[in-house]
Structure 1
Amino acid sequence: MFSSIQIFAGAESSASQNIGSFALTLVQNAALLVALAALHRILDVYLPARGLRYQMFSGLLFGATGIVGMLTPLKFMPGIIYDGRSIVMSVAGLFGGPLVAAIAGLMCIAMRLGIGGPGAWVGVGVIITSGILGVAMRHLRQRKPAVMSFGNLVVFGLVNHLLMLLWQLYLPGGVGPEVLRKIGLIVLVLFTLVNVLICMMFLELENRRKQSQQLRESEERFRTTLQSVGDAVITTDAQGRVTFMNTVAEVLTGWSRVEACGKPLGEVFRIINEDTRLPADNPVQRVLKEGNVIGLANHTVLIAKDGRERPVADSGAPIRDDEGRLSGVVLVFRDQTTERAAQKALQESEAKFRMFAESSLAGIYLYREDCFLYVNKAAAQMFGYAPEEIIGKLGPFDLIHPDEHEMLKENIRLRLSGEVPSIRYELRGRRKDGSTIYVEVHGGRVEFQGKPAIMGVVIDRTERRLMEDKLREEAALLDAASDAICVHELDGTVSYWNQSASRLFGFTPEAAAGKKLWELMPLEKERIESIHRELMENGHSEGEITVKQTNGGELHVLCRWVLVR
């Protein structure tokens, strides 16, 4: 059998050794684990992907550390030794996972059984227990990352070594109580302390690995982003020499990145004033001098390496290090050739829009700060005005019923604040003569002359609203009718069921809606087919039917069906 109070994960100690030698052995085992952490840093460099190969090498490192620890153990008596296996195995399970713990555990078990002695099998038990505890803590950590606090790591170390001490009670010859009496408290305190410190070291390694990975990913995202953006990007050092340029910058300047790197920006980024043909100010030199974001003057032309000229717009911004010192400049610019063509097209588009708006039957409006900047003829006539009576003189509140002002105010706020891009709603309007109309409004926020405004369409819904009111009145009349009235599809699905039908057949309109008619008025299949045939042939069918009521009674009903096309 094996006794295991390991200085790092279970081992055994000699009763004759004093606390000093016990602590010295613990320091030696701790040094092994520090070396293990250093080796893991190297492993992270060469195997950054934590796949099968990484786990196998990691398991071998943990196992080798446990074996080396067993070569210089603390001897309690012949065959009963204490080293760092409990800590090794718990850390292997926690930071490596099941496979790493299994590889390390098999190596440590083989070594401990090879050493032999009365405490061998107890030592094996400690190896297995510590590994399982580490794996369990790993699974808990995956569900609750906050579990890796200092306090929880202390509890983890205490539990690990309390279990290890409990294994000592299984030592043969009744030496277990003697072991606990002489070194139990020391082991529980010191081993737990070292367990926590090693866990914190591995946590730090994990954090550094994550930070390194995040840095690599950030650099890759930065590089990919700069290569992917539609604008040209050039970066320089503090002396104004090119350090990077993306593909778009290569195309616009005619310089490749390899050719440009190390050259002064003025040699690569040659700009002149479009009107005077004189050299324009170097934007990088201005940024380096002023330390602020700057933009190019209007009408700036970039002369490429092959002499081709392009109108450009750009801005330069300082690059600062962690201490705020200016370490370079980033220059972002774009080809304005297409943009200038677009400006011309926009002017033509505006002319077309005005022509469309003036001929539209729907009302079109544009307003800002409670004043209409534009309304077309249809919108003005809808409210009984001429366009010139509204534009620049009236606002939306002048055309809306006072009872609707709060709703209008809130909808304007939602659009101008950007909480909703556009909105559709209905409200009551007020015409010039004071009469009320019902309108449907569609509108959204736009930028007009550099300021936010609201543009949209207004449609007169007065006629539709009156029709809806008429339909509601007719529906109320149907509900007031003494005869039972039902509307259903050709397949029998009920879509309307008035109150008289509810009283006659015992089903409420809500219960009847969506059900088949013969579920509410059970009829024989032949009768149903006969009714359907007469409807399709003649457009109507009538006759007496017998149906069962919900209370179980029978009801003789004279019915008439009419086909609605």
Structure 2
Amino acid sequence: MCIRDSVNAEHQSKIVELVELNNDLDNLITSTRIATLFLDENMIIRRFTPGIKRIFKMLDGDVGRPVSHLLHTLADVEPYQLARAVMRGDGEQEREVHTEDGAWFLMRVLPYHVSAETVSGVVLTFTDISLLKMAREALSERETRLTSLYRAVPVGVGRIAKRVFLEANRQLCQMLGYDSEELIGRSTRVLYLSDDAFESAGKDFYGRIQEQGAGTVETRWRRRDGMVVPVLISGSVLDPENPDDGVTFAVLDLSDRESALAKLRESERVAHAALDALTAHIAILDETGTILTVNRAWRKFALKNGGALDQVAEGVNYLEVCDRAQGDEAGDAAAFAAGIRAVLRGDCQRFVYGYPCHSASEQRCFVGRAIRLPGEGPTRVVVAHELSRAGPAENGGLP
């Protein structure tokens, strides 16, 4: 083989190798799905990937033409000026851009290096970030709504991880008397009255979260000024798959509720004392005729006259007691029960019935009254029996 044939064979091998490398490069660039445009130092088009046609109105025959001759679909940006700036040595450029039809791209303009110190053109790449942009906007909108809700809700809201404060809204800070900076990073132990209370509340709260995904617990917290407030805490994990990410919780101050309950208990105590002070035998019935409460005189009369207290005490249906009456009392008991039922139905507001109730030592007449309590709410009827000094009463329902 002559020297010329050997050289030709070597050249042919190099050409094949270059073609293969060029094909590999084309396939690599195309497979990345990144729109790419190569320009030389004079802004002449060297090569491009198919995806670049979404941005530049380009034909395959445009290789070798000045890029400035081409139209593009980008809005509010001039890629040619950025390419010239990079060629002048201003450094690479990167920004988010969008086309006139609303597609978003991450545009990067980079110098094309042929050696460490030599630049022989510019490379423009466009990565489609439309889906990412939509996700960002949706996330931003969601965060805005959540932040607005977080600030607007009339209860304390916060976030903790491993029982350490990460966030606390204004209402929670006002409830506790702390600034948010004083709470963030601190353990919630600072709010509890004791270690036992801290451990007990945590066990109940996190136990329910583990079982149900959400938990509620009532406990007591100490404000910054030392005042103790009853609270209801409700919360759930942010991510059930990663409970260590934290728990979002809402806190309701129960002070008003406890104050109302205390007033209600005091009102009930006064009402019972007032009932016990009356000489009439009084019971209060619900809408079914069941006894809700009786006064001292009612109990005393039942015991004194040989009755079984458990037959006319709380929880017993008084109408059924009347219906079961026998002997001389049966007729009066049935008539009085009928009057009570009329009051319960709303046929009349009051019913009065006089009846004899003699003892072994004296002749007695009693007056029984059934009075419907006014106002809204469940039906309640007051039944009162008292000794009549004037003889038998005029019986019947009254408006």
TM-score by length of 1: 0.35
Higher strand share: 2
TM-score by length of 2: 0.47
Higher helix share: 1
Larger gyration radius, structure 1 or structure 2: 2
